Amino acid sequence: MKPVRPRETIVPDMEFELVFRVAGPMLQLILLLAREAGLRHATILHFTAANCNFELRQVSGRSKAYSSYTVPMSNRLYERLLFACAGALDSKEPLLCQYNRQRKKPHYNSLTCSLSRAKKLAGVSAPWGLHDLRRTAARALYERTGDIRKVQRLLGHAQPNQTWWYLGNAGIDLTHADMERSTPWQPEPETKSQSSDRPSRPNPEPQKKIA
């Protein structure tokens, strides 16, 4: 019996944009966190304002091994997070709760149902989901940079062979030599600003003294 081949679904930009345009505010944030920040759905469900560093334009996440990592915000994700975090910078409540009338954190099934409805409304019938957006983010970054280490940082992988396998599932043909050229990357230790419960704010400009 042949082993089941892993999914290699990559979401075309055109399909993503069609779904994004008809999606509501909560789903738009979810789509950007998955497609542009490469976050897992579990990280998205627990995502709070404390995961945002607007000064450095970074979002932080945790791998399955609970090690922390940071990835840059795209311009569109930066603007969306600024809007979502407005008035909630000190809150530990997941950002997705503010879009829920019952103030309860959505479940994974509710995320997939919201995505399915938006795809139907946009006329997109291709069978892709949230994790396929994460895989698409990994492939786009590798094709843009050719650097496995950067993809490791995006995905929060501790070892390059994890990323090597992941990119293979994204339809990229890699050799063992490609993996050997990349040295193991270890997540950076948490700094005080990363582990703090309070999200960072841009520093205000010093006031000029009047003579």
Three-point CA angle 47, 51, 52, nearest 5°: 120
3-state secondary structure of 130: helix
User: Which pLDDT score, from 0 to 100, does residue 143 have?
Assistant: 87
Query: Measured on CA atoms in the order 60, 41, 114, 16, is the torsion positive or negative?
Result: positive
Tokens of 195: 């582990």
Please give the single-letter amino acid code of residue 151. V
- Tokens 């954190």 correspond to what residue? 105
Please give the single-letter amino acid code of residue 153. R
pTM of this structure = 0.76
Residue by residue, pLDDT tens for the chain (211 residues) are: 444 455 678 899 999 999 999 999 889 999 999 999 999 888 898 899 989 999 999 998 877 766 788 889 999 999 999 988 887 666 778 888 877 655 566 787 888 999 999 999 999 999 999 989 998 998 898 888 888 888 888 888 877 777 877 777 666 766 655 555 554 444 444 444 444 444 444 444 444 443 3
Closest CA to 57 of 191, 200, 165: 200
CATH topology of domain 13-185: hpI Integrase; Chain A (1.10.443)
